[in-house]
Amino acid sequence: MAITAEIRLFVRQRAHFACEYCGVSELQAGGELTIDHYRPLSKGGDDHPDNLVYCCARCNQHKGEYWPELPDDLPLWNPRREHPSHHFHAIADGSLASRTDIGAFALRRLNLNRPQLVARRRRYIRNAEKKQLLDRRRHLIVARLREMSMNTELNETQQAMLIEVLDLLRLQISSDSGDDDDF
């Protein structure tokens, strides 16, 4: 079975047009990425979509024809079956740290802490922090505008009450001065 145009499109769409190992998108790579056989054809793999991983050329190069052959060989992390957060977590400097032995092996084998990937993650972290700060600022501005609106309403109500009190005082004064004329 060959990788048809339909299967290729399916694999690309399933991966959201980004490397399933490192996350680099087609847009960032400047074109389509490669199709990797998770289990290489030379090691008994096939062209079935379940065995295909969409990946960038660098991850594909680093992975090579790897397949565990000895009982103590670790399997390579399969992004089609396990979420990256199971095996890795991002550090503030943009690098990835492993949570599992499989994660540590994948970090080394795929070289997932390449300088370009670390810089990309660092930018993502900074942008997320900026977005969080902007969202917080927006919420504070909205709260302040609501407070100002409530204060304006309160001031208008107080002004109306003061006008009513002033009118009552005028009525009281005019009625009091009218009473003096009766004596």
The pLDDT of residue 3 = 92
pLDDT in tens, 81-93: 999 999 999 999 9
Quick one: the chain helix, strand, coil %, rounded to 5?
Answer: 60, 10, 30
**Within 23-114, where are the H helices?**
26-29, 57-63, 84-87, 101-110
Kind plus residue range of the DSSP H or E element containing 34: strand 34-37
What average pLDDT is seen over the chain? Answer: 93
> Where does the pLDDT of residue 78 fall: very low under 50, low under 70, confident under 90, or very high at 90 and above?
very high
Strands 88-90 and 52-55, how do they pair? unpaired
Eight-class DSSP state of 88: E
Distance CA 183, CA 179 (A): 7
pLDDT in tens, 106-134: 999 999 999 999 999 999 999 999 999 99
pLDDT in tens, 39-60: 999 999 999 999 999 999 999 9
pLDDT in tens, 144-158: 999 999 999 999 999
| Phi, psi dihedral angles at 34 (to 5 degrees) | -105, 165
**Is the pTM here over 0.85, yes or no?**
no
> Where does the pLDDT of residue 179 fall: very low under 50, low under 70, confident under 90, or very high at 90 and above?
low
Q: How many CA atoms lie within 13 A of 138 on its CB side?
A: 6
